[in-house]
Amino acid sequence: MPDLGGIHPSLIYFAGALLVALAPAKPRKWVALGVAVLGFGAALGLSESAGPYTARLLNFDLVLMRVDAWSAIFANIFCLLSVIGVLYILHENSRLQFSAGLLYAGAAVGVALSGDLITLFVFWEILTLGAVMCLITRRTVASGRAACRYFVIHALGGVILMAGIVLHVAETGSTAFSDIGLSGLGSYLIFIGIGVNCAWPVLGAWLTDTYPEASIGGVVFMATYTTKTAVYVLARTFPGEETLVWVGMAMATIPIFYAVIENDLRRVLAYSLINQVGFMVVGVGLGTGLSLNGTAAHAYCHILYKALLFMSIGAVMFRTGKSKATELGGLYRSMPLTCIFCCIGAASISAFPLFSGFVSKSMIMSAAAKEGFVVVWMALLFASAGVFHHAGIKIPFFAFFSHDSGIRCKEAPRNMLIAMGIAAFLCIFVGSFPNAFLYGMLPDQSPKAAYEPYTVGHVTDQLSLLLFSALAFTLLMRAGLYPAEIRSVNLDFDWLYRKGGRAFYGVTDRVLNGTNRLVHAVFVRGFIPSLSRFFTEAPARLLCWMMVPVWVGSGLTPEQIASKREVMYVRAQRGVFPVGVTVCLAVLLLAFLFLF
Amino acid sequence: MSSSSSSSPESKRAGESPGWFDRPTNVRKVLLGLYGACALFVVIDVVFRVVGFDKHPYFEWERWPGFQAVYGFVACVLLVFVAKYVLRPLVMRKEDYYEPVEDEEAVETSKGGGDDHA
């Protein structure tokens, strides 16, 4: 591989996205794959002396590429996932899908490498574009609407972030993308702006609302980039902010209740995504070397297994057109490899020993215990059991086992299998050999932050927890107490903008259009015609009214006066008078005016 | 393993032999394996306690034999019951609550098709 150490990966991705859009159909997919591989190569070749990617905007120095342990590990996994993602959608050979994926990847890497808040903001906004493109590639009415909602929410979040950055820069004079800490309005706005993308409670309802509407391949990119870039930015800007511990705890626990009763398996995965990001946010909030290492490691592992799970359910959807638990089941016979890959993803998210979640999630839990957050530790343990229950068991069980849906289909396309195979291999490899490369990439390499996942106590405790969670699932299922899968919508905070948005629309419709109608009725229909009538009729009436005494004085009979009056009226309205009469009238009028 | 008949009610397609997981005997095996594993880990925990093996826990209660097992079991039962009896009545609405449900078949243009060449 050529030395790509000096090239900004985002450049490769953005140029590639354009190139793919222009490429003819035949070589298109190979161009897309080549771009993704090149980008990954560039990420691997990142070195701290790389650059110089600096620029000057107004009076600010922009740092487009900052390479350190934090940015390197995130750039690495973002680029790796772009290869897996492009491989996964290779059979589609869709211009828009490839471009969306590459643009999205470029934006995410750009965020990871940006060294100042302004550069960060630019890439942050491009992320939204990538996601919206991933949504519309599904090409359904629902996905189009979801794309609109996604765009509105993220545009709003982006504006909040931008306002925060502007205030922060005005307050401190610094655009440094480093530890900001909560002080001053600017920092709070930045905090909330990041929180929108990080899918915090209330702010994050867009995630479970829109992800299940994305295209089969698009959701793989979405599940990877938006929330994890937000975690990365949080870890950079607010490490050790205790509020985040509680926010993360809420994220890790609340969505799993929803996941249990959710029917759409891709939405179940979206809930468990928030649950897992919650662990990372707790890690950021604890702010110790171990917990921040845990956040980075968990983001790395999570991206792999979450993508794997979304890919396996996506493959099922590709072959069957369905993603709802009520319509699936028994597919292990038709799609055995996909089933195995799904189970590997499920084991990884559940943190089974030898799978990737085991070596990363426990770092955060250990850090919580060490810092004395008993309630948080208990909640995370609950969430660990819960995630196995709803993602680890429910996803493979309802898709591939459960009752036989009667669906018989082909195994997933070869390129999908290869993509899933790579992700599955990495899940097991990272889980089994965490020291091979993952732990070596973590930001804090001091002995204080060192961690050993494979102790006898940890392995037996984790297995006990998981086995008894499985036991609970089994017993509830067999007793008929497990909530039946029902085709339904479950209300969440997206209600606020979906129904609220409609109410807002309704209210503004009534008020503004009502005002409009009222003004139209009074002014356009009433006032203007009367005005026009006034100007056409008033002079004629006035004339007749003035002439009557003249005619009476000249001794005409009432009948003659009436007929004269009519003629006069018509003439006055049409403005046609014999000139002599008009002049006479004018003189008379002047005389009239002069006299009074 | 071969005791289950080919006319198992689980197999939806006539003339098709049931899959491995559709045979009741196999399901029983899987379940027995699970129960056995659960029992095994409780025993291990008790043995650790008896011989005084230190698991280096962070909290005292982690030393109690079966703590993780009980916690995992109770957590999941609680999770399911709260979701089923508290959350679902509160938040569940008809599928067309927000917008009409689209025709399932028209969702994906590439449904079931796609060329396999990678």
3-state SS string over A31-81? Answer: HHHHHHHHHHHHHHCCCCCCCCCEEEECCEEEECCCCCHHHHHHHHHHHHH
| Residue A83's pLDDT band (cuts 50, 70, 90) | very high
Interface of B with A in 34-93 (CB under 8 A): 34-35, 37-38, 41-42, 44-45, 48, 53-59, 62, 66, 68-73, 75-77, 79-84, 87-88, 90-93
pLDDT tens figures, A120-130: 999 999 999 99
Residue B8 in this model has a pLDDT that exceeds 90:
no
Residue B1 in this model has a pLDDT that exceeds 60:
no
* Residues above pLDDT 90, as percent of chain A: 51
Q: Are the C-beta atoms of residues A395 and A269 closer than 8 Å to each other? A: yes
Does B14 contact A at CB distance below 8 Å?
Answer: no
| Structure-block tokens of residue A318 | 């590709």
Q: Closest-CA residue in chain B for A464?
A: B69
User: A173 or A89: whose pLDDT is higher?
Assistant: A89
Q: What is the DSSP letter of A184?
A: S
A465/B69 touch (CB, cutoff 8 Å), yes or no:
yes
What is the distance between the alpha carbons of residues A190 and A421, in angstroms, rounded to a whole number? Answer: 39
pLDDT tens figures, A129-140: 999 999 998 888
Q: The tokens 């106590």 sit on which residue?
A: A457
Burial category of B105 from C-beta neighbours within 10 Å (exposed 0-12, middle 13-18, buried 19 and up): exposed
pLDDT of A360 reads: 93
B107/A386 touch (CB, cutoff 8 Å), yes or no:
no
**Could you give the dihedral angle defined by the CA atoms of residues A417, A418, A419 and A425, in that order, rounded to the nearest 10 degrees?**
100
What is the distance between the alpha carbons of residues A162 and A174, in angstroms, rounded to a whole number? Answer: 14
To probe the interface with B, which of A208, A266, A403, A464 has the most B CB atoms within 10 Å?
Answer: A464
What is the distance between the alpha carbons of residues A401 and A424, in angstroms, rounded to a whole number? Answer: 20
Q: Considering only the beta carbons, identify the residue of B77, B96, B104 that sits closest to A322.
A: B104
Nearest by Cα to A216 from A312, A131, A306: A312
Does B28 contact A at CB distance below 8 Å?
Answer: no
Lowest mean pLDDT among A44-58, A148-162, B25-39: A44-58
pLDDT tens figures, A348-391: 999 999 999 999 999 999 999 999 999 999 999 999 999 988 88
SS3 assignment, position A9: helix
Bond into A52 cis (ω within 30): yes
| Prediction pTM value | 0.84
pLDDT of B110 reads: 40
A461/B55 touch (CB, cutoff 8 Å), yes or no:
yes
Residue B112 in this model has a pLDDT that exceeds 80:
no
pLDDT of A86 reads: 94
Q: Is the dihedral of CA A310, A315, A316, A322 positive or negative?
A: positive
Q: Hey, how many other C-beta atoms are within 10 angstroms of the C-beta on A514?
A: 10
A464/B72 touch (CB, cutoff 8 Å), yes or no:
yes
| Exposure letters A331-352 (e unless 16+ CB within 10 A, then b) | bbbbbebbbbbbbbbbbbbbbb
pLDDT tens figures, B14-46: 667 777 777 888 888 888 999 999 889 888 888
Residue A292 in this model has a pLDDT that exceeds 50:
yes
Nearest CA to CA, how far is B1 from chain A (Å)?
17
Nearest CA to CA, how far is B61 from chain A (Å)?
11
Residue B79 in this model has a pLDDT that exceeds 80:
yes
What is the distance between the alpha carbons of residues A198 and A206, in angstroms, rounded to a whole number? Answer: 11
SS3 assignment, position B114: coil
**Could you give the dihedral angle defined by the CA atoms of residues A339, A342, A347 and A349, in that order, rounded to the nearest 10 degrees?**
-170
CA distances from A537 to A540, A542, A575 (A): 5, 8, 11
Nearest CA to CA, how far is A189 from chain B (Å)?
30
Nearest by Cα to A215 from A79, A77, A310: A310
pLDDT tens figures, A202-251: 888 899 889 999 999 999 999 999 999 999 999 999 999 999 999 999 99
Chain B residues near residue A91 by CB distance under 8 angstroms: 114-118
Chain B residues near residue A321 by CB distance under 8 angstroms: 104-105, 107-108, 111-112
pLDDT of A551 reads: 83
Q: Are the C-beta atoms of residues B55 and A456 closer than 8 Å to each other? A: yes
CA distances from A78 to A49, A83, A161 (A): 21, 9, 22
> In sequence order, which ranges of A173-286 are alpha helices (DSSP H)?
185-197, 205-210, 218-237, 243-261, 265-286
SS3 assignment, position A192: helix
What is the distance between the alpha carbons of residues A491 and A117, in angstroms, rounded to a whole number? Answer: 36
Backbone angles phi, psi at A89, to 5 degrees: -105, 15
Chain B residues near residue A466 by CB distance under 8 angstroms: 72
SS3 assignment, position A302: helix
Q: Are the C-beta atoms of residues A164 and A190 closer than 8 Å to each other? A: yes
A469/B112 touch (CB, cutoff 8 Å), yes or no:
no
Nearest CA to CA, how far is B54 from chain A (Å)?
8
| Residue A285's pLDDT band (cuts 50, 70, 90) | very high
Mean pLDDT, chain A, rounded, equals: 89
B88/A483 touch (CB, cutoff 8 Å), yes or no:
yes
Mean pLDDT, chain B, rounded, equals: 73
A321/B107 touch (CB, cutoff 8 Å), yes or no:
yes
| Residue A49's pLDDT band (cuts 50, 70, 90) | low
Residue A413 in this model has a pLDDT that exceeds 60:
yes
Q: Considering only the beta carbons, identify the residue of A91, A145, A476 that sits closest to B80.
A: A476
Number of H helices, E strands in chain B: 3, 1
Number of inter-chain CB pairs under 8 A, A vs B: 207
Q: Considering only the beta carbons, identify the residue of A91, A381, A499 that sits closest to B115.
A: A91
A9: Cβ contacts below 8 Å, ≥ 6 apart: A39, A42, A43, A46, A75, A79, A106, A109, A113
Q: What angle do CA A391, A393, A399 make, to 5 degrees?
A: 90
* ipTM exceeds 0.90, yes or no: no
pLDDT tens figures, A14-24: 999 999 999 88
**Could you give the dihedral angle defined by the CA atoms of residues A207, A212, A213 and A219, in that order, rounded to the nearest 10 degrees?**
80
| Exposure letters A138-158 (e unless 16+ CB within 10 A, then b) | bebebbebbbebbbebbeebb
What's the whole-number mean pLDDT along residues A561-567?
84
Nearest CA to CA, how far is A471 from chain B (Å)?
7
What's the whole-number mean pLDDT along residues A526-539?
84
pLDDT tens figures, A576-585: 666 666 777 8
